[in-house]
Amino acid sequence: MTRVTEQTVFASLRQDVATAQVRALKAQEIASSGMRVQRPSDDPVAFSRAAVMDAGLARLTSMKRSGQVVQQEFAASDTALADAFGLMTRAREIAMLGATDSLSADERNVLADEVDQLRMTLLSTANTQVAGTYVFGGYQTRAAPFSAAGAYVGDSGARQVEIAPGQSVTVNRPGNQIFTPVAGVDAFQLLQDLAFDLRANDGAAVATHLNTLDTASTQISDGRSALGLEASRLVGAESTRTAIEETITSARSDAVEADTVSSFSQLLESQTAMQAAIQEAARILAGLANRWGA
């Protein structure tokens, strides 16, 4: 009977010390990592909620990266259209000068050469690309949208990118809506015609291009304004995404992270309890040893 009782005491002591050690180790893990839940067994419900929120945060991170790419495209498009507007403004100045009766044929030839250069520069601007993406090609982003002759070889696609849950922006404005619209003015053909009339020393014909140059400039300005509006919507969508991200991050923290003060307090308590269990076991074992010695 005594043997059985002693075995029971030993088993109880081992269990008490082991339990105290497990609690102390768990408290140490929480305090050092700052995480209350790291595995399903810690808290199945909280762990499952955290997994769902992690997936949501990953999606938001992907949207953030997309937004950064879109910002680059907007910046490149805006710069290109600002340059294009400047080129057309200069072409109009040349047309006004070329329409002057007092100009000689040689002087008009010099102006024609400049118009040729403007056309080449406009063509390069219309084929602007950023990070390998041609910004004015519609969905056709991997090839130059305008040929050397100024023909549009892209498509009319307007690319949509989701920046925040339920909020998308239109990334591009196809080049055939800006430089060569069907119901508008073909800017490349216009500059070619202007150069032709200058070389023909026909001031009256040169003057007829003034209104169409204004129309071409308006097309470019309208395209730039449309993209500017989308850029503004991008800023708003990014604010929404950031707010959602902060909310989810906070909720995830509440679900699985440990309060710093509380975790260290629990660590101290668990270590104290473990030491007490060890000391109690030592006291009981010492008493049994004395009994055996007697």
Q: What are the pLDDT digits (tens) for 53-81?
A: 999 999 999 999 999 999 999 999 999 99
**Region 90-107: what's the mean pLDDT?**
96
**Region 122-149: what's the mean pLDDT?**
97
The answer to whether the CB of 199 falls within 8 A of the CB of 109 is yes
Lowest mean pLDDT among 22-26, 184-188, 225-229: 22-26
Task: Give the pLDDT score at 264.
Answer: 45
Task: Give the pLDDT score at 43.
Answer: 84
- pTM listed for this prediction: 0.76
The answer to whether the CB of 152 falls within 8 A of the CB of 145 is yes
Furthest-apart CA pair in the chain: how many Å?
A: 134
Task: Give the pLDDT score at 182.
Answer: 86
CA geometry: angle at 181 spanning 179 and 183, to 5°?
Answer: 145
**Region 3-20: what's the mean pLDDT?**
59
Share of the chain above pLDDT 90, in %: 67
CATH says 78-252 is which class? mainly alpha
Backbone angles phi, psi at 132, to 5 degrees: 85, 5
Backbone angles phi, psi at 172, to 5 degrees: -130, 165
Q: In whole angstroms, what is the distance from residue 108 CA to residue 263 CA?
A: 84
17, pLDDT greater than 60: no
Tokens of 291: 């009994």
Task: Give the pLDDT score at 45.
Answer: 87
148, pLDDT greater than 50: yes
What mean pLDDT, rounded, does the chain reach?
Answer: 86
